[in-house]
Structure 1
């Protein structure tokens, strides 16, 4: 085959295909023409490759066909745009929708911790249940402070553990028991430690060690528990939607919360690993923790509120979610 001869005969078709593929808008006739030209030029490319594989001709035809195929089949947005949309729309919208659930879980958890702490600090029997006096002395005077030794290894261990707990809260949310058990156990542990430290007059040390990272870390755990309980409540009361559809929609939306909390817990892990046990002034540690918490809530309330007002729920888009049967509201 003579490539020059083929080029002379087909050049107008190749140029027309490239022109249509680059246009922003096509009418019906032009779309049909693009489809016909795509088939013809694809045949030409196959011929060129098999009989006269000129690199320049192959590259030019391949580029035109690639653009035409994207116009015919529909081009997907770049992967980075999905990541950006998740970060600034889907995730904050999902968090915003459960903001009052987060507040309720936080209030209940803090209440349990305060009650348990007061009980341990005022009841000798409760205090004795934490172990013999020698073990309590060792923990309060040495182990509690030593636990927060700065380091990247410690930060990664804390991050992994907390991310796992948060994922469990969301994943077991449908049971209604899993999140409650995790939250209750955590509140009892924190309250017991606080009460123990109070009996030794070291409640200031307790709060100075807990709050810098704990403000964000505990909020993340409360958020995971709230997401899990919201999924359970959807099972109980799906509203006007069929129960299976409601669970699918809420499950997809609220699992974005678990993914988002991985990043929030990474920040709290860094604070716990490099700030809490450091030699920084206590006021600076608390300021860093407060700023991290403020950033989280700004993310939820500002970006999340804007996304929710635009109708976003945190669920995937309709194309990925699939068709659903309409139901009466």
Structure 2
């Protein structure tokens, strides 16, 4: 093979590819397509000249092909960038997009808890069916408050975190059943909260009930509501997938459920720390409740600010290259 003739014939192609690679960050769509085509052609040229003896040419083309391959295939995103993107975009935008499901879930939970609590508080027969007078007295005067202070804070925080995570993971796990069991799980938890509140109210201890449950309960229940919201949205995606194929809608919402599950690990950790260290602390009630309100407000502000910004940028929180979505023009 005449190397000089080969170089003369293909040098413009190599130079053009080098130019495109150098300016890869500002290429138009057609220029990207051109770069891919030239990369494939120059890779073929490299395989041809490898059999020759011009090592300088082989080295030049090898370097050009390597740079072009990097430009075409993209480089791996560093782990720290993925971490930042998850908490700045993926998690908050998924939570923000589920905000109406989230709000309705919270409202229904509170209605059920209030109705059950009022029913228990006003009916001695219902209280008697739940427990005997001595048992209720023990619960109201000792057990309810002692629960938060009978264990060392560090160990209790871990125990609470695992318990809260278990409840939320139950809700999330039922997403594979299209969220059908989620209303029952929420009903069960709402009824338990209502029964406890009703028994405390029947003995004029409602101030203690709210003073102990509010600091950590705001954030804890918010996490459960969010998990339930995205789980039920998954079920709704099977009924109404919108303009997409049902499989694509389910896959996207399934990945959203996973994003929420990962994000709630941190939220529930904060809730567990508050329950272990703030709820049983000697701080006045207003201070303990205030800490809970601040934590809740900070989380909601985080979701609204970051989630709305990401939503306006047309982010969905989904994978940037989801395997089940075919690109189209």
TM-score (ref. length: structure 2): 0.79
Q: Which residue of 2 aligns with 1:137?
A: 137
Deviation at residue 224 of structure 1 after TM alignment? 1.0
Q: Give, in whole Å, the separation in 2 of the partners of 1:233 and 1:72.
A: 38
Determine the structure 1 residue equivalent to 2:59.
none
Q: d(CA) in 2 for partners of 1:264 and 1:276?
A: 17
Alignment correspondent of 2:203 = 200
Going from structure 1 to structure 2, the CA distance change for 1:37 and 1:205 (only over 3 Å counts) comes to: farther
Q: Structure 1 residue 35: deviation in Å?
A: 4.7
Residue 55 (structure 1) aligns with: none
Shift of 1:227: 1.1
- Give the Cα separation in 2 of the matches to 1:284 and 1:138: 27
C-alpha offsets along residues 7-61 of structure 1, whole Å, 9 cap, x if unaligned?
xxxxxxxxx9xxx79x743785985797589879999xxxxxxxxxxxxxxxxxx
The CA distance in 2 between the partners of 1:303 and 1:293, in whole Å, is 16
Deviation at 1:320, TM superposition (A): 3.7
Q: Is the CA contact 2:237–2:249 (under 8 Å) kept in the aligned structure 1?
A: yes
Q: C-alpha separation between the residues in 2 aligned to 1:321 and 1:84?
A: 22
Q: Give the counterpart of 2:288 among 270, 281, 285.
A: 285
Q: Which residue of 1 aligns with 2:239?
A: 236
Determine if contact 2:215/2:278 at 8 Å carries over to the other structure.
yes
Q: Would the aligned equivalents of 1:166 and 1:221 in 2 still touch at CA under 8 Å?
A: yes
Q: Deviations over 1:246-275 (max 9, x none)?
A: 111111123211211111111110000100
Kept in 2: contact 1:176–1:229 (CA 8 A)? yes
Contact 1:42 1:65 in 2 (8 A): no
Q: Which residue number corresponds to residue 153 of structure 1?
A: 155
> Where does residue 23 of structure 2 map in the other structure?
25
Q: 1:185 to 1:76 in 2, by over 3 A?
A: same
CA distance in 1, matches of 2:251, 2:319: 11
Q: Which runs of 5+ in 2 are unaligned?
A: 1-13, 25-33, 52-62
Aligned residue among 168, 171, 179 for 1:169: 171
Paired residue for 2:8?
Answer: none
In structure 1, the residue matched to 2:57 is none
State the 1:162 CA deviation: 1.2
User: What CA distance in whole angstroms lies between the structure 1 residues aligned with 2:202 and 2:119?
Assistant: 11
> Does residue 104 in structure 1 map to residue 104 in structure 2?
yes
Aligned equivalent of 1:91: 91
Moved more, 135-144 or 173-182: 173-182
Matched residue, 1:247: 250
Please say which of residues 260-269 and 27-36 is displaced more in the overlay: 27-36
Structure 2 vs 1, CA of residues 42 and 210 (structure 1 numbering), >3 Å: closer, same or farther?
A: farther
Distance 1:95 1:89 in 2: 10
Map 1:109-120 to 2 at 5 A. 109-120=109-120
RMSD over aligned Cα, in angstroms?
3.1
Decide which moves more: 252-261 or 215-224. Answer: 252-261
Matched, 1:276 2:274: no
- Give the deviation of 1:71 after TM superposition: 4.4
After alignment, is 111-120 or 136-145 more displaced?
A: 136-145
2: CA distance between counterparts of 1:131 and 1:73? Answer: 66
Normalising by the residue count of structure 1, what TM-score does the alignment of the two structures yield?
Answer: 0.79
